Copies of this chain bind each other. A is one copy, B any other.
Amino acid sequence: MFTTFTGGETGGWQVTRLETVTGEGLPTAPRMSIASGPQIPPQTAASWQLTAFASNVRYVERPEKERLAALQAPLGRPHATCAALIPIRKSQAWWEMTQDERRCVFEARSQHISYSLKYLPAIARQLYHCRDLDQPFDFLTWFEFAPIDANAFEDLVGYLRTTEEWRYVEREVDVRLVAAI
């Protein structure tokens, strides 16, 4: 099952901000839609279209997996009217590391999981993978939260960008959205 995020003139999410954090940006778009399906859709005339898949977890260990499962919230909560789509590409150096070396940077040295746990269940999140789909990014990271938790989300994103893991991020765009009612 593929999930496609399309920036353009239509869609259930209104784009409130679109910032280039690192590397090449994305064109602006007033709206964004999300679609799921069994096929990668052909490129549309939209401003941009990014396709990825949810997959099995890659880094968490058993106690972390259980804590995440106990704490995390699902997508689609009615009060979570704020969202962020943060597409990310990591460098060749990241991908040349072995799994255990990446885990060491990701958690032992960057506390990606343990720091993020503090923001659950307020921030609902889903990671989508696209490196293997010949897409311009490696990951599409998606977050949903209530307006009251917007500052907490800034904390989390701000923290992650200071970590050793983030030195391997060579392209990052930050798209903020609100549910269009």
Point out residues on A near B: beta carbons under 8 Å: 1, 38-40, 53, 55-62, 64-65, 95, 98-101, 103, 129, 131-134
Contacts and interface: CB of A to CB of B under 8 A. Distances in A.
Contacts of A103: 99
A55 to B, nearest CB: 5
A59 B103 CA distance: 12
Given A64-B98, A99-B103, 11 more contacts: A39-B40, A53-B133, A57-B99, A58-B99, A60-B98, A60-B99, A62-B100, A62-B101, A65-B98, A99-B99, A132-B132
A138 B174 CA distance: 32
Contacts of A1: 134
Given A62-B98, A98-B57, A40 B40 contact: yes
16 contacts: A38-B134, A39-B40, A40-B40, A55-B131, A55-B132, A56-B131, A57-B98, A58-B99, A60-B98, A60-B99, A61-B98, A61-B99, A62-B98, A65-B98, A99-B99, A132-B132
A131 B58 CA distance: 14
Given A40-B39, A59-B99, A132 B65 contact: no
A57 to B, nearest CB: 7
Contacts of A64: 98
